[in-house]
Amino acid sequence: MHIRAANEGDTAAIQALYDDPMPWPIPNAQRAVKEQHVRVAEADDGSVIGFRTLTKGGFVWIAVAAEQRRQGIGSRLMEGALQQAAELGLSELTSQVDEDNLAGNAF
């Protein structure tokens, strides 16, 4: 697994990961890839198994495919977000986790 910058070819996989756990409307993945700092976690077979978005305002979204969780992928995505936030001069990040998402809240 490695983490790389997202590209427009990743938008369907990112949108699917957005749609899976999120109970509220999420911005269009294609627009997010163009306008925000999006990185994907890519499996050895080339499939997108997670992503993170860092907005200019310091909001972070992280999602990992259910079958890939508890392997450190979310932690690696968050570490990258923290590093990039520092490079961008962002001193504070925010995120939101649905209260029913036990794994997300434990993270």
What pLDDT is recorded for position 105? 63
Contact 17, 59 (CB under 8 A): no
Specify the pTM: 0.79
CA triple 82-87-88, angle to 5 deg: 95
Is it the case that residue 29 has pLDDT exceeding 90? no
CA triple 48-78-21, angle to 5 deg: 55
Question: 3 or 33, which is more confident?
Answer: 3
> How many angstroms separate the Cα of 25 from the Cα of each of 45, 58, 71, 85?
30, 19, 27, 24
Is it the case that residue 28 has pLDDT exceeding 70? no
Contact 21, 54 (CB under 8 A): no
